[in-house]
Amino acid sequence: MLILALVTLLATIAGVAAERRWKTGAKKLSGHMLEVLVFVLMPVIIFFAVIDLQITGAVGAGLAFGWIERIAVVIAAWLIATKLLSLTRPQTGALMAAVAIANTGYLGIPLTALLLGGSHVPLSAAYDNVVNTPAIVIIGFGIGAVFGTKSGQTWRQRLKAFLTRIPPLYALILALLMPDSLHPSWGPDLVHTVAMSIAPIGFFALGVNLMLEQDEAGERVFPPPLTPAIFTALGLRLLLAPVVMLGLSGLLLTVPHAFILEAAMPCGINALVVAHLYGLDMKITVGTIVWSTGTVLGAVTAVEVFGLL
């Protein structure tokens, strides 16, 4: 857990330092790194992780609940953004994407091992691959295409922007269609190796964008201002999502504890990728990632310390 927090902190600090030193160069580098994530690393991880996935029994019902949870928080985000907060289109999309994309892989799986034990990790990985991964490439990228400023003005232009910027979705489809006989034995090792590079890249870009917001608006950026939109995102991602999962579990069919823990994960770094590619509001995206990740890491650290005492 300490290594996880340290990697996150150091990568973010490196991004902050790069922006302070090079500014425009750091911004370009950050953008290129995010594009490498979506066009190279994410398709590799999704393809090799999904081809070996096995779903059975009550686990399948729990994963279905995960999709209900994800759709529920996205709809709630849209209603609050448009009816109560009167946000702009890019701000609305950023709020929706922030609650649609959770950090169930890089953070959720290690936390499952830490809090529930290693035997629960396969369930956590199943949730990440069946719920969060498709949610990123279908819901998250779809939101970006519909609400972003870089995806055109007409519906035809937005559809084109969606279809040309989602190699992770094509990797997912290819993985589902591939016969078992063609599955490579070295796939899991490749997934682990590539996945370890995502968080440092993503949090480096986060650090760069934190400082870019300060340069452009002259506002304090760390911690980012806790605006009504960011506060709403925190409530939906960290509270409403696990409550929906708990409610469905209690009313219909008991689900594994790992699924409930995964439902409570913070906003994932891939929300930053979507915001960059499609032109969603960076303040809401960056602020939600920082506050939600800090809240979860702080809570888990407190649990660890309390347990040691």
Per-residue pLDDT reduced to its tens digit, 52-74: 666 666 567 778 899 999 999 99
Share of the chain above pLDDT 70, in %: 84
Q: What is the mean pLDDT of residues 192-202?
A: 70
pTM of the entire predicted model: 0.82
pLDDT for res 218: 55
Residue 251, exposed/middle/buried by CB under 10 A (0-12, 13-18, 19+)?
exposed
SS3 149: coil
Q: What is the mean pLDDT of residues 274-283?
A: 91
Of 52-61, 158-167, 215-224, 245-254, give the lowest mean pLDDT range: 215-224
**C-alpha to C-alpha distance for 69 and 77, rounded to whole angstroms:** 12
Q: Using the structure block, give the residue that is written with the tokens 């040309």.
A: 164
Per-residue pLDDT reduced to its tens digit, 126-175: 788 788 888 988 999 999 999 999 888 888 888 888 778 777 778 878 87
Mean per-residue pLDDT of the chain = 82
Picking from 109, 114, 111, the residue whose alpha carbon sits closest to that of residue 49 is 109
Domains in the chain with CATH codes: 2-308 (1.20.1530.20)
pLDDT for res 309: 44
Task: Name, in order, each residue with C-beta under 8 angstroms of 192's C-beta and a sequence gap of 6 or more.
Answer: none
Residues 172-210: b if buried by 16+ CB within 10 A, e if exposed:
beebeeeeeeeeeeebeeebeebbeebbbbbbbbbbbbb
Of 156-160, 234-238, 261-265, give the lowest mean pLDDT range: 156-160
SS3 102: strand
Q: What is the mean pLDDT of residues 96-118?
A: 86
Q: Phi first, then psi: give them for residue 267, nearest 5 degrees.
A: -60, 135
Picking from 50, 39, 72, 61, the residue whose alpha carbon sits closest to that of residue 175 is 50
